[in-house]
Structure 1
């Protein structure tokens, strides 16, 4: 064995998340594309960040950059891409994500490594990946009679809460 962690090890999953979040931030910082395309990319960043936060939440306290990012994501939900506050909020979100990726994220990965056996890390990593796969198809119960299922986990008012709720429900559901 070459000493590397399997792809399903939770530390590998979290580190991969950090790389993807960093990549999305870089893409947004380049400032290219129409306002609508930037809004779509910002929504993608939010979706990835919510998934990541749910996976990492038991290993971090709630007072760090992810808590700051949560507030900014909620504000961004209601900001149109043409509004002046959109870029200001997006810049704040990018800074919070970068702070997490570079400061808090590695500490969370170390915490996982210290507190979980390799077997448990593999189990948790598989669970996180399964929850992510399931989340895209789990409808939000409050919306199921009013909104098409395909739209229930995508941007709009309450997106952050719906995504987080869906991920938690999928994690809590048996096998």
Structure 2
């Protein structure tokens, strides 16, 4: 990183995501809290990972750790915290996230730094942050008529797809 990068530069945003994902994994690995609290924390990890994935996926090959994490997130969103598979799936998700944070993610950040000008990195970073800011208020088109807007990004079955759709929708304003 050079000294001219801003906090909104895409490489800075993604590196910050990696630190937050790593922190959430550490918190989950400590194994503290009730099953319901762990489920809430797992849902938070999933939400952060989806936000991160949407921003970083264009710079990855599609078959790596984020793809594995996506598969596990989809299985985990249907698992209750009391089910035996919950901890098994969560452990797999944490391992995939850790691999991404240590290997795949930094390689993507390096590739962005190598292939994008500083101006383009700043532009992409601003776009990612604007999209993230707008996403919670964007209704998923399949849910708009059936689910109150406040519940459309609530964790649960379909959460990964709803969050991705909201993050990929164009930011308004």
TM-score w.r.t. length of structure 2: 0.96
Structure 2 segments unaligned to the other structure (5+ residues): none
Cα offset, 1:142, TM superposition = 1.2
Once residues 89 and 38 of structure 2 are traced to their aligned partners in structure 1, the CA distance between those partners, rounded to angstroms, is 13
Once residues 169 and 3 of structure 2 are traced to their aligned partners in structure 1, the CA distance between those partners, rounded to angstroms, is 34
Partner of 2:122: 122
* Structure 1 residue matching 2:91: 3-state secondary structure: helix
TM-score w.r.t. length of structure 1: 0.95
Give 4+ residue runs of structure 1 displaced > 2 Å after superposition.
none
* Structure 1 residue matching 2:137: 3-state secondary structure: coil
Once residues 148 and 30 of structure 2 are traced to their aligned partners in structure 1, the CA distance between those partners, rounded to angstroms, is 34
Residue 160 of structure 2 is aligned to residue 160 of structure 1: yes
Residue 149 of structure 2 is aligned to residue 149 of structure 1: yes
Cα offset, 1:156, TM superposition = 1.2
Aligned residues: 172
1:92-117 Cα distance to aligned partner (Å, 9 max, x none): 00000000000001100000001100
Once residues 98 and 6 of structure 1 are traced to their aligned partners in structure 2, the CA distance between those partners, rounded to angstroms, is 26
User: RMSD over aligned Cα, in angstroms?
Assistant: 1.2
Cα offset, 1:64, TM superposition = 0.2
* Structure 1 residue matching 2:153: 3-state secondary structure: coil
Cα offset, 1:40, TM superposition = 0.5
Cα offset, 1:174, TM superposition = 6.2
